[in-house]
Structure 1
Amino acid sequence: MIEQHDPHTGLHSEQGALPGEHPGRARNPVVKVHDLAWLEFEKPDLERAELFGWAFGFTTSLRTADELHLRGTDPGSPCVLIRRGHRSRFIGPAFQAAEPEDVLRLADATGTAIAPLPESLGGLTVDLVDPSGARVRVVADTHELPALPTEAPLAFNVGHDVTRVNAVQRPPRQPAKVQRLGHVVLQTTRYLQTLNWYLEHLGLIVSDFLYHQGQRERGPTMSFIRCDRGSTPTDHHTLAMTLGPADRYVHSAFQVPDLDSLAAGGEYLLDRGYQRSWGIGRHIQGSQIFDYWRDPEDFLVEHFTDGDLFDCTLESGWAPMSASGLAQWGPPATKDFLGMRPGRESLRELRAVIGALRENNEFDLHRLRGLMKAFTS
């Protein structure tokens, strides 16, 4: 009898750190940020960006000739700020300070000036630059947008637990209602240096580390990082960071109410000609049900629902990086999602690899081999 091997065995990060490995948190961070506030982009065509935003499930909270703010249904800040620019590019994330004094504390610790935000946002910001060159804002006292109506949860008959009788399920094929911004994923050639910067300055803590198979002794190459709110549970990751051949945005993720909203919203996007990158499936690290899409400027964005929440007591998990380890169920990770699709993107990635190998950074030939092995495993 042939023994069946489950490729997911050992990939759920229950294994913790070995002696001497990265602790996943700083002993005395400058501040502990409360959450991710918003993401900032530049794009040349705000009309096209707004049309995709509506189809994806956002609501416009501000629209001028040169600026677009897209929000979810939850109260708070807009999720995405887009300013008109000559080319499409990611500017950086903004984090919400736990209290206004933390902005002052961070400014003092870094020798950086505090500046007022535009009146459309309100409040103050301290603008920093992480070791990979990304602008990072920490903001406080911003205006709070009121909550918007959201989709009511469906009643489910789960197994023999019956809650719905003489009623049918007919979720409409319409844009998924984005509730909030969940996380952003960044790639850097200076992974360890950049990771430590976020832990030390913003008080983030690592939920899960991934390492290249056969290279654990060299340390991790990806981390899923959450906010530290003490005993209050927070998203498994607010920021994820991975080692790669270029400093760049990878994707961002936005919460929707449930699987039906996610799936019906995906059908709505397909009907309008937008490109699904990968999905629908359920992740391992974070457990989210996911669906990835390309916007008209080729940025990767994710709908997600049912993610893990951790408090400060859970230590970091460790697991090997692999393509099959990206999901518990769902279709295999696509070349588009992995950044390996033929065309301009793959040529751009090849040039980045060549450039990174010539420079003094953490992305060397051994890391390249480990990454290629992970993509094909």
Structure 2
Amino acid sequence: MVKVAGLAWLEFEKPNLAQAERFLLDFGFTAADRTAAALLLRGRWAGTPGLVVRRGTGSRFIGPRFATDARADLDRLARVTGSTVTAHGGGYAVELTDPSGFPVRVVHGVAELPALPEREPLALNFGPRPVRANSTQRPARQPAAIERLGHVVLATTRFRAALDWYLETLGMIVSDFLHLDGQRERGPVMAFIRCDQGGVPCDHHILAMALQPFTGYLHSAYQLADLDEVAAGGEFLRDRGYRQAWGIGRHIQGSQIFDYWRDPDRLMFEHYTDGDVFDCTLEPGWAPLSVSGLSQWGPRATAKFTGTNNPAVVLDAVKALTDKGNDVNLGTLRGLIKAMSS
């Protein structure tokens, strides 16, 4: 129907906005606005605030917000889906719901914030011609300086319908598929999805979805300047008593250098740098899903990252098997269990 230009922001709900703000500022965001009902948090680059946190009764992810380059895209979306274009944040928006049940807002013309001063990547003495002489490297152990929102990763029991919806409704394309070992003929169980801007390279993924016995938020990721910013920002979080979920390492799909942390409510947030960008000419990759296949180097992904140490997983599996309207069956459950222990 349309081709979205990127992620605009993500929305969360938290019962304690003061606690949420402390973590997010320590994580590297800058506060753009705060009221008794909501927080707006931003990166250093110009654009919309990357994160909106609303006061609510629990801690949860609400949904993703995407941006289009033309108001006509919203008119087309509204016409085809039976929705309405409404005023929103100085611009316009269409409210949709994806097959997983996530509320999805598509916006155009929303007011943007100017850029803030940012730290340039460190000059590194690689190779035979050093670029830094008579100067030391002393990265400060302080909150990381988030540049921008990168991507969000969601779990869904209705993987195939959700994947088709994002490709057909929002015009996105797949960078990489993951399948269960020995079950490629059954199709993918995870997809990394990017924008289609023709010959203009786009982030390897702004959205990733994984077939799971539950539907929900897995993590979101935010870009930093370089490896030192990832490492020093992580040391600051550790000093403040936050829980690292996994890292530091380098992913295979997307190539990002990553570090994952959990907030006080156990929601997971990722620092990353050096991610891949692809244009529309690259065909999707295929690989088996496995814990060891999640990174090129770094520590092995633990149960703290995969969530397999959560007792609710068993209840989720039983519930998913009794729901005949999803993609979960005994074969996929066995394959997922094998993948998470491989």
Q: TM-score, normalised by structure 1?
A: 0.90
Secondary structure at the aligned position of 2:161 is classed as helix
Q: What's the counterpart of residue 315 of structure 2? A: 351
Are residues 1:31 and 2:17 paired? no
Give 2:62's match in structure 1, choosing from 78, 87, 91.
91
Q: What's the counterpart of residue 263 of structure 1? A: 231
* Residue 109 (structure 1) shift: 0.8
Give 1:56's match in structure 2, choosing from 24, 27, 32.
27
Give 1:364's match in structure 2, choosing from 310, 320, 329.
329
* Residue 347 (structure 1) shift: 1.8
What residue identity is the alignment partner of 2:84? A
What residue identity is the alignment partner of 1:269? L
Q: What's the counterpart of residue 115 of structure 1? A: 86
Are residues 1:311 and 2:282 paired? no
Q: What's the counterpart of residue 273 of structure 1? A: 241
CA distance in 2, matches of 1:48, 1:116: 31
Structure 1 outlier segments of 4+, above 3 Å: none
CA distance in 2, matches of 1:122, 1:245: 39
CA distance in 1, matches of 2:34, 2:110: 18
Are residues 1:181 and 2:149 paired? yes
Q: Deviations over 1:1-44 (max 9, x none)?
A: xxxxxxxxxxxxxxxxxxxxxxxxxxxxx000000000001100
CA distance in 1, matches of 2:217, 2:293: 21
Gaps of 5+ in 2: none
Secondary structure at the aligned position of 2:169 is classed as helix
* Residue 290 (structure 1) shift: 0.2
Give 2:122's match in structure 1, choosing from 127, 151, 154.
154
CA distance in 2, matches of 1:161, 1:141: 46
Secondary structure at the aligned position of 2:304 is classed as coil
Q: What's the counterpart of residue 69 of structure 1? A: 40
- Residue range with higher mean Cα deviation, 152-161 or 227-236: 152-161
Q: Deviations over 1:75-115 (max 9, x none)?
A: 01001101100111111000011211111111111000112
Sequence identity (%): 58
Are residues 1:220 and 2:188 paired? yes
CA distance in 2, matches of 1:278, 1:295: 13
* Residue 131 (structure 1) shift: 0.5
CA distance in 1, matches of 2:274, 2:127: 19
- Residue range with higher mean Cα deviation, 154-163 or 282-291: 154-163
Are residues 1:283 and 2:251 paired? yes
What residue identity is the alignment partner of 2:76? R
CA distance in 2, matches of 1:208, 1:273: 35
CA distance in 1, matches of 2:335, 2:31: 42
* Residue 349 (structure 1) shift: 1.7
* Residue 122 (structure 1) shift: 2.2
CA distance in 1, matches of 2:148, 2:164: 27
CA distance in 1, matches of 2:181, 2:120: 44
* Residue 161 (structure 1) shift: 2.8
* Residue 302 (structure 1) shift: 0.2
Gaps of 5+ in 1: 1-29
* Residue 282 (structure 1) shift: 0.1
CA distance in 2, matches of 1:268, 1:58: 14
Are residues 1:41 and 2:12 paired? yes
Q: Deviations over 1:272-305 (max 9, x none)?
A: 0001000000000000000000011211100000
* Residue 159 (structure 1) shift: 2.7
Q: What's the counterpart of residue 165 of structure 2? A: 197
What residue identity is the alignment partner of 2:37? D
Are residues 1:127 and 2:95 paired? yes
How large is the Cα RMSD of the aligned pairs? Answer: 0.7
What residue identity is the alignment partner of 2:198? G
CA distance in 2, matches of 1:271, 1:200: 45
* Residue 348 (structure 1) shift: 1.7
Q: TM-score, normalised by structure 2?
A: 0.99
What residue identity is the alignment partner of 2:237? L
Give 2:53's match in structure 1, choosing from 82, 87, 90.
82
Give 2:294's match in structure 1, choosing from 310, 319, 326.
326
